[in-house]
Structure 1
Amino acid sequence: MTREAYAFAREFAAAPPSELCVDRHYLLCAAQGALRLEAHDRSWVLPPARAALIAAGEPIQVAIPQPVTTSSVLFDTGFAPAPPAPLTVFDLSPLARALVSECVAWPDAAEPLPPYARSIFGALAAVAWQLALEPSPVTVPAGRSPELRRALALTEERLGEDVRFDDVARDVGLAPRSLARRFEDECDMTWRAVLRRMRVRRAVEELAAGDASVTTIAHTVGYTSLSAFNAGFRDLTGRTPTEYRATFRP
């Protein structure tokens, strides 16, 4: 008999994408650094003070662009209900953070959880499942067709440059009109809207990576105006970059 739920904390070095699929509902929390998660043609960034709730048996791609420290909590499917979505990334509340920290005291083991631990894991499940109903807006389409995935990769490679749609289309081997239709059909948004989301996602990762100034990060992700960067970041996240970085720490 395995435990109804268990938790652990780990540090990971930067690593390319790999598949993750477990037989328990998985709450993955970032403490330092950031990860990228991909499933169902969408990509999420997971910075500090956020969590990903992954349904049991749901395969996802995990990439680690920078060293990270994470806390993981795994729930048996008979102990916690199915999550509201196969994969959701959301902000952790102070209560959820405290419960995750408490749960790490019970790693995987054969014996059942003591009553106190069962109540803590149960409370965390109740809180996390509720928080998952308000997912993070910092998502980027991953694309289905090879051409669109290539276009997305080229766009991201050139974020810090004067990236142009016609150049991306040419390098993918499609006419601009054809590539524009791919974005509408597969992403349900324009290339320029995807570009804005990519810049915010990269900015979140840069904010989590260290203490680089907001101005430096703005230029790194392709903005020439700090006010435009602040406005674009706030439009998607509801916070300025400085306010967002402040949420990384209790």
Structure 2
Amino acid sequence: MNRKAYSFVRTFPQEPARTLKMDGHYLLCASAGALRLEAQGQAWLLPPARAALIEAGQAIKVSIPQPVTTASVLFDPRFTAAPPAPLTVFDLSPLARALVNECGTWGESDEPLTAYAETLFTALAAVSWRLAERPSPVVVPAGRSPELRRALQLTEERLGGELRFEDVAEEVGLAPRSLARRFEDETGMTWRAVLRRMRVLRAIEELAAGDTPITKIAFAVGYTSLSAFNAAFRQLTARTPTEYRASFRT
């Protein structure tokens, strides 16, 4: 890296998953749209309200389910200490988002940072490293075995329609009891718990994409009542869907 830190602001179209490995500590976030991140057997969605802090050299898979504008920052490992963990996803505070936006002026360059810019990047690192000590619970396991990965894929594809565990088990070639054991062994969760998280993640994606009414989003992700959707959303995010949408529309 030529600079101690620099910002990476760019708009991308929808893209399939690809593997990234950066030579600096990477604060990955979006200012519009959403990114999907997979690493260490887990998957996250990153709308503008959330970010991932990834240690230098850590491999990740990133996909873009809808057009997205990134507002990410790379830190030279000599400029900052190592992050609290190799990879952490967390909710951005208003201060962190303001610092990310302000740092967007300084992209990759051979020119050294001004004293003001270096102060901004130092402050952003301090805030982000502290936020990374409180990871977000909204994460979905990616699965290890081909059968479980296929079961997760089928579940995600059918969130808004008729969805029965027995049908998923039949399509992956396992008895329901055997597939249930795979979920417990590989994810530490039941299929129902994973389904609930997938629905909330899909809802977050829709909340970040535009102004679709929340009731319509609730039905689209498989809930039959707005109250049940709100309860599940609040349980995982500690916010209502309305509050969550407002958090990245500031």
Which range, TM-score by smaller chain?
over 0.9
Identity %: 72
TM-score by length of 1: 0.97
Shift of 1:160: 0.6
Counterpart of 1:53 in structure 2 is: 53
Moved more, 1-10 or 157-166: 1-10
Deviation per residue, 1:125-181 (Å, 9 max, x gap): 000000111111110000011100000000111111121101000000001111001
1:220 aligns with 2:220: yes
Post-superposition offset of 1:236: 0.6
Deviation at 1:59, TM superposition (A): 0.5
Aligned residues: 250
Displacement of 1:70: 1.2
C-alpha displacement of 1:195? 0.4
Question: Which whole-Å CA distance do the structure 2 matches of 1:212 and 1:103 have between them?
Answer: 31
Separation in structure 1 between the aligned mates of residue 107 and residue 213 of structure 2, nearest angstrom: 38
In structure 1, list runs of 5 or more residues that go unmatched: none
Give 1:187 deviation, angstroms: 0.2
Residue 229 (structure 2) aligns with: 229
Tell me the SS of whatever aligns to 1:119: helix
1:1-250 equivalences in 2 (<5 Å): 2-250=2-250
Separation in 2, partners of 1:106, 1:242: 33
Aligned residue for 2:109, secondary structure, equals coil
TM superposition outliers: structure 1 runs of 4+ over 3 Å:
none
TM-score (norm 2): 0.97
Q: Look up the SS of the partner of 2:78 in the other structure.
A: coil
1:116 Cα deviation after fit? 1.8
TM-superposed CA distance for 1:15, in Å, is 0.7
Pairwise CA distance, 1:112: 2.3
Measured against aligned partners, the alpha-carbon deviations of 1:199-226 in whole angstroms (never above 9, x if no partner) come to: 0000000111111111110111001111
Q: 2 CA distance for matches of 1:45 and 1:88? A: 12
Taking the aligned partners of 1:215 and 1:107, their CA distance within structure 2 comes to 40
Deviates more, 1:225-234 or 1:112-121: 112-121
User: 1:198 Cα shift?
Assistant: 0.4
Tell me, in whole angstroms, the C-alpha distance in 1 between the residues paired with 2:111 and 2:34.
Answer: 33
Amino acid at match of 2:92: L
Deviation at 1:8, TM superposition (A): 2.5
Report the RMSD for the aligned CA atoms in angstroms: 1.0
Q: CA deviation at 1:111?
A: 2.9
